[in-house]
Structure 1
């Protein structure tokens, strides 16, 4: 197709790349999504979003190798197209990856214009990349590649510059303005809520009920006594790894005022939150670290371990308040 590629047409990732390098690229894949402000999308029904279709360009990319191993990828550069195309190479038997999920993937990443291999994860268990499938948190073309793809699948996405790094490119990774990209992605997992064995909360704790999506609602007992130190309880015990203080975590949370019951913040009406496990208020971090991935817990946090007492220079709207959080731990990624 078009002019001959200036580099060998068989694009194979030439080496296992350091985790730090892969993490740096992951930041780029996530960070560039913030440059756009997509219109709100109705995700209330399965048909609210359209799945990206295959096309002649994505079908032309030859991918060989078993899922879970570094693929061999061949295509005739330059690949030119106006819209992202998505071809499922090996179809898994899991559920389609939903919008708003936290997805765990292995991937290989190529410049579709030059034919050059750019990056790859190590295709090693526990060292995969983790992203939030959300328009404000992920490169558009990568989102279109993974969304709707069944868990357990290998999928190829060919992405025009408009859904990638646009006219600016990403020169540190050999991507010039206007370059197309090729992703080959193994969908390892996609989750939106906690999973595992239900646990009984201690007597006197607020009651948590879940709707069909897993979103919680909380009922506070009339005789509830505000604690002077943080109190937490596991509601669902997940079977994943323990969260370390140095991990990056991906969570759903629901926060409310323990005295009024007013909800002041939550992720269930948007997308899961990702950040450092040590980047929260003290009571939240202390309850989070040591939890297993897949778990849901409730924590009640007094001002001393939250936003402090009101008054003086403390102008936080949550100062002086005892807070309740219900938290689903969806993923934890080691950073050291």
Structure 2
């Protein structure tokens, strides 16, 4: 099998720490080149991995069999659609966009082009979590599930090594929300409805309904106090309660190993012509759920602010 030529779009921390080194070392792929909005950063990253820095994104796309993305979601969506129209397979980051229309437009481009796509939902590819989720899915049916992501990324006592304007603007709903939805879906099935309510700072609480009749909840934030940070995942059913052990130590696994699995999944999907469970259509559905939740939170926040204004005026 010929090695897959994968072009990389993006030069930020994830591209530097994970995407580029994994693509350069993958047994079935090669790093075909790098393009970024800052040419000097693209040149530096390309030199570090003995590949080509492209000044024109279309030239990178033309030189590749597939394109991997490590850019903000609303930069990713139009560039990915461009690559799909050129007949290139896509390795996307989550969320695929922060606008449902843009996400579904991208999914439409992928379908029309007949190319393969994989969205890098980390826990769906990271052992041992991926194996744990697959085992739980086989054990069903489950009654309820819960996925809580309390991150202190933007807490006063936290750190932000992977800070970015889109993450600061969109908060935990859009940053860690995709992780929660991806693991809940893996075990409980497709999400059919969402009800959302705001909490302190950027915190959002979700109540979800799944196609098989199960329900689940999720709490998402990037602003938890550092001592309150952590991730909780559990499922309850006839077998009792199931939670991964030592989630903080083993659940995420190594991001490089997870990304290597995602690259392999894209290569397999492209050669086999069969869609992956975490393809762009699933990514678009996740965006649709998150956008609906965001709209509900905005409406509730607006009503609360209006009530406060009326109270103060009286």
Please give the TM-score of this superposition, normalised by the length of structure 2: 0.24
Higher helix share: 2
Higher relative contact order (CA 8 A, sep 6+): 2
Please give the TM-score of this superposition, normalised by the length of structure 1: 0.23
Higher strand share: 1
